[in-house]
Structures are given as C-alpha cells and as structure tokens.
Amino acid sequence: MNQPDDQYTDQELLRRYKTDGNSDWIGMLFDRYAILLLGLCMKYLKNEEDARDSVQQIFLKVLSEIHKHDVIFFKAWIYQVTRNHCLMQLRHRKDLELKETHMPGVAEQEDHSVYVQKDQLLENMEAAMEQLNTEQATCVRLFYLEKKSYQEVAEQTGFTLLQVKSYIQNGKRNLKLLLEKYSENKR
C-alpha cells in the first residue's frame, strides 16, 4: 500500500478491507474522520481524556463490527456509532451517580423486595407451566426459554408449524390467566 489514502473513496477502502481483511484500510478510513469523532466525543463527554479513550474504543468496535453491516455512507455510519457510544457512556455515568447517591439502607430494602417478587413470580411460572397440557408446555419452553424458532420447535417436536404456533399462542394465553389467578390468590 504505497498510495496515499486520499486516492480511495470511503467505499473503496471498505471494499478492500472486507476483501482482504487488512486493517490498514480501515485505519486509513478512520484517520479521515478521527478529528471529527474526537470533536463529537468532546461535545458529549466534556472531557478530553474520556473523548480520546472513546475514539480508541470506537475504532476497535469498527474493526470488530464492520463485517456485520452493509455500510454505504461510512461518514454517516461512524458518526452514528460515535454518537451512540457517547450516549451509552453518559448513561453509564448517570447510573453510577445514581448508585452513589442512593441511601444504602433503602436501596438494600428495595433490592430485597425486588428479589422476593421475582422469586415469587418464578415459582408461580413453574407451577403454571406444570398446569399446561404437554404440547403447550413443551412448545412454550422451547420457544421462550430455549429461544428456539418456530421451525426449530417444529423439527424438535414433530409438530407442524401451524400446531407449534397454536400451542405457543394458547400456552402463552393460559399462562397469563394462571399467573393472574395466582396473583389474585396472594392478595
């Protein structure tokens, strides 16, 4: 690569990187927009060190994720990636600040209460699942808990696709009714 990088369009550099995997192509592309990205990070993060760290993190993210995307306008895409990264950083900061300002005793009580509610919900869910008919319980478990597709559930169970959809829909409705009944009995 002895030619200056300004001879290539953004699209050409992207195509070359996707073809041979040589990170120098992305490096050239990234160099074109590094100052823009740094400025954008500074605008959001208000701290030069954080902004520089973010630009480095974004570069690494671009290297690992560019293959997953069909990028047509790199400048617009990298701008959006950078903006999202900065917003996530700000959200993370805000979450940390909220955790630091919470009164420990109250937060612990809230956490404990949430865990008790979740445990109760899980117990109710398990009991409700046992009350579903076998077909509904199997399909609901595979689809929602094991994250299988309709097609995978059909292949695994031997049911038709139409049966799988019906069992899942009816099972979900029955679960909702059973869970409502359990919560009314607890009141």
User: What string of H, E and C letters represents the secondary structure of 58-94?
Assistant: HHHHHHHHHHHCCCCCHHHHHHHHHHHHHHHHHHHHH
AA identity, residue 58:
I
Q: Taking Cα atoms as reference points, which of 138, 127, 128 lies closest to residue 167?
A: 138
Please give the pLDDT value at position 1: 46
Highest mean pLDDT among 2-6, 25-29, 100-104: 25-29
| Domains of the chain with CATH codes | 5-101 (1.10.1740.10), 104-186 (1.10.10.10)
pTM over 0.85: no
- pLDDT tens profile 39-70: 999 999 999 999 999 999 998 888 888 888 88
- pLDDT tens profile 19-46: 998 888 888 988 899 999 999 999 999 9
Specify whether the CB–CB gap between 130 and 179 falls below 8 A: no
Min mean pLDDT across 22-36, 69-83, 94-108 is at 94-108
pLDDT beyond 60 at 106: no
Cα separations (Å) of 159 from 49, 56, 99, 137, 165? 58, 50, 49, 13, 10
Cα separation, 168 vs 160, in Å, equals 12
